[in-house]
Amino acid sequence: MKTITLTETEIANLASEALERAGASRTSARSLSDAIAAAERDGIPSHGLAYLPTYCLHLTCGKVDPAAIPRVESNHSVVRVDAAHGFAHPAIDVGFDALVPLAREHGIAALAITRSYNCGVLSFHTERLARAGLVGLGFTNAPASIAGWGGRKPVLGTNPWSLAVPDASGGVAFLIDQSASVVAKSEVMKHQREGRTIPDTWALDAEGVPTTDPNVALKGSMAPAGGYKGVGSALLVETFAALLTGSLPGVEAAPFSGPAGGPPGVGQFFIAVDPRKTSGGHFAERLATLVLAFDQSTGTRLPGERRFANRRRSADGGIEVDQRIFEAALALARPSAP
């Protein structure tokens, strides 16, 4: 595979150009392009430039309203944002502007986002809360792709949740981001694009039989992580991200890929907790004990360490991007470029 080396800024600028050319506002394009660049930086290319053509398509086919302006309501320690069928990222941005000070004031606050879209890497958002000194917990639902336990028809999305825990120096102690399926659906789509098979533990065909063919998998269902426990995890996320936000459940949401259907209309839900107001001043001490236990256990690592290592390597040596994906992004941003 041929690659090209880019900086995080170069990736963000390229993505922003393409999104603006497809109709996104500058504010919306920049918000999303920063997340795209961060995904490439952190070694999560399935949510990086590879997804840019889909984002641009959805701006022109009606899945995303390029003129959407998020509307914010705040009531005590609850913030509600109507994303208005625009991109999720700018809606989360304005929601966090209200959420963070409320969490610091009350000790805990919640953000409910409705009529939203694919929010990309969920931990990109919860990490921002941790860097603000808050414990951040996030949920986002998705179009149905997991069957109920014992069934064959998808009824729940891969529905990730994320937990970001701050350290004592303005950073992140650990960062969890996991879906209710064995892997994110985007990984199966990535294997499909590259013409590669998938492990037989990732997905099931339409009859509920494990498959290694990504084309068959995308017509069947994703395998839940931990069997029936994965279905329980998906239901947990569906409750917060869809039911508590008044958004569409996965069985009614249009797909995140392709032009079929209208806006997905899914939701996101975030909880921000100020540990200084809940722990009696013992948070940093207890956290240090927990982190030390991991450090002293041979071969273990805290969630997020691999991502942070990728981030350091990207800062030192640049970010390797698939040449074909770069050229596709370049064609969207600058169609007249040689």
Catalytic site positions: 46-47, 187
Alpha helices by DSSP H, listed for the chain, are 8-21, 26-41, 52-61, 88-106, 122-131, 185-194, 214-217, 228-238, 283-295, 305-317, 323-333
Angle at 29 between CA 28 and CA 33, to 5 degrees: 120
Nearest partner of 118 among 142, 136, 96, judged by Cα: 142
Half-sphere exposure of 29 (CA within 13 A, CB side): 21
Angle between helices 323-333 and 52-61 (to 10 degrees): 30
Query: Backbone phi, then psi, for 16, in 5-degree steps?
Result: -65, -40
Q: Would you give the end-to-end CA distance of the chain in angstroms?
A: 21
